Amino acid sequence: MWKFIEQRLYLKEIKEIIQYHQKHHNLTQLEYQSTWQFLMDRLNTDRSLEGVIVNELHFGREAVRELNELSKCVDWKRKKEEVKKGKETKEEHILLRWLFKLSFFFDSCELWNEGFVWLIDIIVQLYRAARDNFRGIRNQCIYSLRNAAKNRVVKVEDLLKGGAADAFLEEIHRPTLNDGITNGCLRFFMNISRRLKRKTDDEMEEARRKATKRKVFEKMEEEGYEDTIASFHVMLPFQSRKYFEKMPSNISDYFVNV
């Protein structure tokens, strides 16, 4: 029931808290993230909040700054054995909370602006930093980018500019590739593939779609990923079935290392 608090009872105060912090930096990192979380938890039941979040309070810009600051406080070289569940540092915990909400935001947002390419860029940076030793952070980055690729308001061009496609292409050929990461990579490219297949009657949009589609496949081919493209053709139909999460235990073998 707490999600259904009327907007008039909290919105003015929450906006003032966020805007005051943006000017004076009076909150701790956890307090600031919690304030945003309070607001975004209500987005499911009140879509009018999205305009406030994106345009008035500049969510993308704020998230980029906070993630940048938090990433500087994480010891990315800390051994995987030392990074145990429930043993995160304060900064790692707050970073995970941001990424969790970003995954939800990318899944549900209906407003987008060009500045969000920097949000994709910082998530890609975090993904690369976390992928060896920080499983929780790595997985939340995968979920966020996968959801971004699925959302029609997120431009495929922004995913390319932000480096998301490059990061997943790199991942496919790492010797430590596992089935969970394979699932995320496949779903990312499956979402992009589905979107690039959708034709439109608008001539300019259709020309842009074709140009982007050509750019994606040229990128894969020029970097030697022809066999990976063949792998996608084998696995994407399987991924499209109702129970796509139930992957075969040897799914990674469908990728051919070149």
pLDDT score of 70 more than 90: yes
CA 115 to chain centre: 15
Give the pLDDT mean for 200-217. Answer: 80
pTM: 0.82
Tell me what pLDDT residue 192 has.
83
In the three-class reduction of DSSP (H, G, I as helix; E, B as strand; rest coil), residue 164 is classed as helix
Share of the chain above pLDDT 90, in %: 41
In sign, the C-alpha dihedral spanning 227, 228, 232, 235 is: positive
Give the pLDDT mean for 8-14. Answer: 86
Share of the chain above pLDDT 70, in %: 81
Longest Cα separation, the chain = 58
Tell me what pLDDT residue 64 has.
96
Query: Which of 65-79, 82-96, 157-171 has the highest mean predicted lDDT (pLDDT)?
Result: 65-79
48-63: per-residue pLDDT in tens?
Answer: 899 999 999 999 999 9
Tell me what pLDDT residue 255 has.
46
In this structure, of 4-8, 118-122, 150-154, the range with the lowest mean pLDDT score is 4-8
Query: Which of 55-69, 83-97, 182-196 has the highest mean predicted lDDT (pLDDT)?
Result: 55-69
Tell me what pLDDT residue 189 has.
81
Give the pLDDT mean for 79-92. Answer: 78
Q: How far is CA 159 from CA 121, 147, 192, in A?
A: 8, 11, 9
> How big is the CA angle at 193 (ends 169 and 112), to the nearest 5 degrees?
90
Domains of the chain (ranges plus CATH)?
58-254 (1.25.10)
2 confidence band (pLDDT: 50, 70, 90):
very low
